[in-house]
């Protein structure tokens, strides 16, 4: 793997694709600087070598127009604060103005370019636009996992203009290694925990990981499609009736491959999708009309605990209850606690995919698992077995 440690940046300008697509409030202040913090080690490595860093990113969806609300100038102060170096800003990302700002950059300095998506050519993967970007650095570093699944000019196409001078930053390298551990090199038994609402959004992941895992926990809203397919009553629980045959096929494939599938046996059911609903514990396959399962039940959690504590490699993708409501968050919190315990006992744990990352952050598990992925879509496509264009471009 071509990683940043293979290069010395002394007197070199590193063109670094970062993912600074961060949330801003109405005063244009950064409300979550995690992505900036994540890029810091890569930027510091370049500066400590005696090089300079040219940072490029997108922010929001300006759709090829110069929307002042989505200017990266708003985050400049925050980037300076996080990195500990005063970051310069130029209000373009290609052309004379950008080229002059880069030419004036001295060793140890950092320059942030304007929003890449002010140009439609960025998302189109336009080669001429990528070539203009390539004039702004001596070495290309991709450290933006969150956009690695897009063949955009700055994430993929630009790499071809650096045939012998391109590498992964620390963050992207860590993401690749974490996924490799789950999918290929992890110590057995390997466990995947898949939650979330729909089977349809996880089909390709399930089919791809059945060859790699020893145990599969299915939780969340997906549960009810499997239970109904097996003849159970799920009441008003979320269910994809058109995916029931698929659910049965997944169970059949798992059995043929020797994968142990663990599905909830009881649930915390509610008579309304509301924090004020009446609740009771019910068998997962005996939920009456007017009731819906919104969290895992106590016996299910006991069963899951045994499986999790027995695992050596754990992937967690998706919550197992409606954790956004406190009444239905207990199952997801319990899962986090079990994974924390397994991790302390030596297991490798990777959390990835939108809602599970949100849950991990909300309940304070970020430092209690081995790795939390920074890229939702990119992470999911990796688990589906797809080659991400931003990663392939560096490896070519």
User: Which residues are known binding-site members?
Assistant: 19-21, 35, 58-61, 117, 150, 202, 293, 324, 353-356
* Dihedral sign from CA coordinates of 391, 368, 42, 130: positive
Q: Choose, from 108, 232, 377, 385, the residue flagged as catalytic.
A: 377
Which residues line the annotated binding site for (2R)-3-phosphoglycerate?
A: 35, 117, 150
198 catalytic, yes or no?
yes
Rounded to the nearest 10 degrees, what angle do helices 76-83 and 34-49 cross at?
Answer: 60
Q: Choose, from 2, 160, 198, 230, the residue flagged as catalytic.
A: 198
377 catalytic, yes or no?
yes
Which residues line the annotated binding site for ATP?
A: 202, 293, 324, 353-356
66 catalytic, yes or no?
no
Report angle CA 352, 211, 226 to the nearest 5 degrees.
70
Which residues line the annotated binding site for substrate?
A: 19-21, 35, 58-61, 117, 150
- Comparing C-alpha atoms, which of 381, 375, 379 is closest to residue 38? 375
Q: Choose, from 12, 13, 35, 181, the residue flagged as catalytic.
A: 35
232 catalytic, yes or no?
no
| Phi and psi torsions of 223, nearest 5° | -45, -45
Q: Are 87 and 80 in contact (CB under 8 A)?
A: yes
Q: Choose, from 64, 108, 232, 354, the residue flagged as catalytic.
A: 354
Active site residues: 35, 198, 354, 377
């Amino acid at each position: 793997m071509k990683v940043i440690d293979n290069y010395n940046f002394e007197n070199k300008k590193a063109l670094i694709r970062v993912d600074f697509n961060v949330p801003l409030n109405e005063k244009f202040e950064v409300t979550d600087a995690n992505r900036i913090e994540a890029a810091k080690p890569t930027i510091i490595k370049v500066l400590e070598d005696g090089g300079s860093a040219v940072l490029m990113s997108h922010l929001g969806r300006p759709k090829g127009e110069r929307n002042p609300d989505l200017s990266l100038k708003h985050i400049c102060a925050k980037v300076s604060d996080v990195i500990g170096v005063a970051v310069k800003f130029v209000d373009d990302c290609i052309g004379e103005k950008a080229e002059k700002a880069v030419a004036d950059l001295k060793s140890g300095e950092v320059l942030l370019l304007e929003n890449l998506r002010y140009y439609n050519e960025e998302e189109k993967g336009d080669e001429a636009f990528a070539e203009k970007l390539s004039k702004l650095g001596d070495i290309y570093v991709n450290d933006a996992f969150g956009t690695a699944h897009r063949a955009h000019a700055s994430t993929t196409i630009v790499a071809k203009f650096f045939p012998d001078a391109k590498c992964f930053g620390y963050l992207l390298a860590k993401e690749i290694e974490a996924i490799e551990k789950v999918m290929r090199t992890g110590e057995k038994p390997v466990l995947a925990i898949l939650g979330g609402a729909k089977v349809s959004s996880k089909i390709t992941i399930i089919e791809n990981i059945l060859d790699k895992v020893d145990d599969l926990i299915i939780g969340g809203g997906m549960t009810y499609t499997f239970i109904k397919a097996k003849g159970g009553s799920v009441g008003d629980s979320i269910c994809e009736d058109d995916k029931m045959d698929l659910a049965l096929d997944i169970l059949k494939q798992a059995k043929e491959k020797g994968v142990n599938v663990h599905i909830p046996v009881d649930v915390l059911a509610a008579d309304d999708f509301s924090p004020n609903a009446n609740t009771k514990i019910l068998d997962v396959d005996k939920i009456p009309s007017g009731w819906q399962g919104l969290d895992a039940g106590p016996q299910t959690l006991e069963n899951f605990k045994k499986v999790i504590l027995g695992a050596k490699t754990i992937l967690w993708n998706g919550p197992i209850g409606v954790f956004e409501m406190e009444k239905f968050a207990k199952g997801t919190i319990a899962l986090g606690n079990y994974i924390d315990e397994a991790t302390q006992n030596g297991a490798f744990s990777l959390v990835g995919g939108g809602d599970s990352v949100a849950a991990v952050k909300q309940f304070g598990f970020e430092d209690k698992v081995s790795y939390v992925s920074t890229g939702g879509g990119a992470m999911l496509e990796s688990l589906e077995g797809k080659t991400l264009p931003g990663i392939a471009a560096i490896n070519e």
